[in-house]
A and B are shown apart, each in its own frame.
Chain A
């Protein structure tokens, strides 16, 4: 049922030697990165907008709830039907699944902004851009990091599903191929390789960035 570490290691070396591992990992990392950036940018923008504008919140709240509850698989299938079996559809499907979650977290952050600090920027005649970067944005950092970390975990799982459903490469596609041969060692080898990449991103990028941005809380 479960191959030993040696068998998984041999499968990993075999895939790496053939070059398939690097191609598939590269394609999946590319889709994860683009979908992640798209979901964070649109989700954060939408959430901040809804948090600041009561009218926008009332107009878009129902859509947000629909987005949060729509099954991921439905969005993926619809994107493939509407846009064809291509990377645009795959990335869009993943991002659309993630945007409502980011927007929800960022809406709450934007609602809890300390307006008295914004007033400091206004009385000292800071430009709107400077107020946004230096006073508004730092108050959103906790929400941005929370949604980035939750987002990365969700997105890479979704990317594997869209690849399995409709892409000719990537870790998800390869896992389906290996499944056809009941190659459990191969499946685990890809899963391990991909988990290693996600952990590396978490430890090398997200955690240091978060530590830097929230250093003042630990003093």
Chain B
């Protein structure tokens, strides 16, 4: 499975009109954990929405394998408030899957939330809700997982724990993942490949692999070293500028 994006542009007519993506080219290989990093307005979320099939008004070519199993974790958990945690998972299961319930319970156990299977989302903390959103995405055994700054509004220890859970899940499953973030440390700790976008309209500014042990096996020192190296070469990378 390979995802290829060629000459992808997305213009919003407005007013005021603006171009979110401009002739973006990108190839994503199977099993990659790609972090898409860029300043606000660089079109990261737009690209993710196009990949998710939520936005079809683009120009260019998007090559996604037909029948691709897809999962999305949004910035907000987007759980159904009227459904229990377990029902939120079962909602996305194929209707004919007789094993859905035991599989969902096993996944909740894996993510340490089995005790909350019958709870409603409003009874859970923000961090727990995000864990459920992650469980829902993993539940469909996705071939492509799209994540849009999913840990952005949780406190630091909770976000670290969620990143750890995500790394472990990826290590066990190796699903192709596109993770949008503007947090460089988060990107370096999770990704196998980093793609930086220019300040809008978004184009690929820098595309480089992460030469570290696999996500989940990285020590804080590994991450610090890679981060320092990157920032030494590209001190203004987060502002959408490569080089010194």
Contacts and interface: CB of A to CB of B under 8 A. Distances in A.
A138 B92 contact: no
Contact of B80 (A130, A134, A214): A134
B86 interface: no
A138 B122 CA distance: 16
B72 A123 contact: yes
Interface string A195-219: 0000000000000000001101001
Contact of B120 (A134, A141, A219): A219
Of listed A117, A125, A126, residue having the most chain B CB within 10 A: A125
Given A116-B76, A216-B81, A219-B123, A123 B95 contact: no
Interface in A123-168: 123-126, 130, 134-135, 138, 141
B82 A117 contact: no
Contacts of B80: 117, 120, 134-135, 138
B100 to A, nearest CB: 13
A120 B78 contact: yes
Nearest to B92: A124
Interface in B64-106: 70-72, 74, 76, 78, 80-83, 91-92, 95
Of listed A134, A214, A216, residue having the most chain B CB within 10 A: A216
A119 interface: yes
A124 B71 contact: yes
Given A123-B72, A124-B140, A134 B54 contact: no
Secondary structure call for the B interface: loop
B184 interface: no
Interface string B221-244: 000000000000000000000000
Of listed A124, A125, A141, residue having the most chain B CB within 10 A: A124
B54 A123 contact: yes
A122 interface: yes
Interface in B118-137: 119-120, 122-123
Contact of A123 (B71, B81, B120): B71
Given A119-B54, A138-B82, A216-B81, A125 B70 contact: yes
B219 to A, nearest CB: 34
Contacts of A214: 82
Interface residues of A, number: 18
A126 B92 contact: yes
B120 A216 contact: yes
Given A123-B54, A126-B92, A138-B80, A116 B120 contact: no
A169 to B, nearest CB: 43
A204 to B, nearest CB: 23
Contacts of A125: 70
A122 B53 contact: yes
Contacts of A116: 74, 76, 78
Nearest to B68: A125
Contacts of B74: 116, 119-120
Contacts of B54: 119, 122-123
Nearest to A131: B91
Contacts of B122: 216, 219
A120 B70 CA distance: 11
Interface of B: 52-54, 70-72, 74, 76, 78, 80-83, 91-92, 95, 119-120, 122-123, 140, 146
**Which 8 A-B residue pairings sit nearest by Cβ, starting from the closest?**
A124-B92, A123-B72, A216-B120, A216-B82, A138-B82, A123-B52, A219-B120, A120-B78
